[in-house]
Structure 1
Amino acid sequence: MMTHYKLRPAAPGELGDNVVMDPSVHPPRIDHAHLEIDSWFGDELIESYPCLFISDDLAKTLESSRLGHYELRSVEVSLSEDLPDEERASVPHLHWLVLTGQAGQDDIGATSTGRMVVSDQALEILRQHNIDHCDVIEYAGE
């Protein structure tokens, strides 16, 4: 049986004013993602609950892996005026990572509360990139 892991990516910002969200369901349904970044430390997998975002480089790696069970969508990104110039310059192009798989069954999936769960194989692929501030916890179900 394959081991799965729950990931808790770092959150270098929050959902911005232009997010279109339905909070009547849990996790909230997002129709338009807007991320406002107020700090940057280089991770290529980040979150602002309930959304996940990945760098362009990580997106290319995922697409070439053929893991499946996710969609890449566009995201509106704003950089806080308080973000230092050197951090501002290092923010990569980001994609909104929408999870479509089942936690604990698919290589990439989501729990009923919207948390990311990945297989050994998917974690190995993610670790080819900077996910240094992401907590990785063995997943034992909900």
Structure 2
Amino acid sequence: MAYYMVKPEVAGRLGEGTVLDHSTHPPRVERLEYEIVGWTGDDLMTGFPSYVITDHLAGKLRGAGLSGFDLRDVRITFSPEGEDALRVMGFSDFPAVKWFYVTGQAERDDFGLTPRGRLVVSGNGLTGLRQGRLDQARIEEYDPEIHK
């Protein structure tokens, strides 16, 4: 089965309200606040080591019965640059989102993480993601020797 490395749009960063457990690498996020600094409209976003997904795309993935993720609450905030970026891009508001909490293992589940926290998806997972907008995402075939 083919797997793919997905590098989503970096639309923001961890906000001040994020709680991290630094006893692991990458650090484990216990509570997520995602601060938008510049969003171009993609349905999947990242701010290392976390992922955020629009409710629209999350519903598609849930409906497809894909494995390796949970949807959790996330607090969204906006930097002044993020507010400006929304206006410049012509968005009247930011969509409802969830924390896309990856629980799976790379090359086993539809969504998994490498030991370095990189997102790896199965062919079915990629089909699910492509039901949303991923214009800024970089997608390439996963090679465990290269993408550690």
Give the shorter-chain TM-score range.
Answer: over 0.9
Q: Following TM superposition, where does structure 1 have runs of at least 4 consecutive aligned residues deviating by more than 4 angstroms?
A: none
Partner of 1:130: 133
Moved more, 81-90 or 66-75: 81-90
After TM superposition, the score normalised by the length of structure 2 is 0.90
Which residues in structure 2 correspond to 1:85-124 (within 5 Å)?
A: 86=87, 87=89, 89-124=92-127
Which 5+ residue runs of structure 1 have no aligned equivalent?
A: none
Partner of 2:51: 52
1:89 Cα deviation (Å)? 2.4
CA contact (8 A) 1:42 1:90 kept: no
Partner of 2:23: 24
Tell me the distance in 2 between the aligned counterparts of 1:109 and 1:29. Answer: 14
CA contact (8 A) 1:19 1:32 kept: yes
Which residues in structure 2 correspond to 1:2-81 (within 5 Å)?
A: 2-81=1-80
Q: How many residues in Structure 1 have an aligned counterpart in Structure 2?
A: 141
CA contact (8 A) 1:16 1:35 kept: yes
1:103 Cα deviation (Å)? 0.4
Identity of counterpart residues, as a percentage? 37
Tell me the distance in 2 between the aligned counterparts of 1:136 and 1:73. Answer: 24
Task: Give, as a single letter, the amino acid of the residue that structure 2 aligns with 1:129.
Answer: G
After TM superposition, the score normalised by the length of structure 1 is 0.93
Which 5+ residue runs of structure 2 have no aligned equivalent?
A: none
Q: Equivalent residue of 2:5, what SS?
A: strand
Task: Give, as a single letter, the amino acid of the residue that structure 2 aligns with 1:80.
Answer: S
Task: Give, as a single letter, the amino acid of the residue that structure 2 aligns with 1:52.
Answer: Y
1:81 Cα deviation (Å)? 2.3
Partner of 1:139: 142
The CA RMSD over aligned residues, in Å, is: 1.3
1:90 Cα deviation (Å)? 3.6
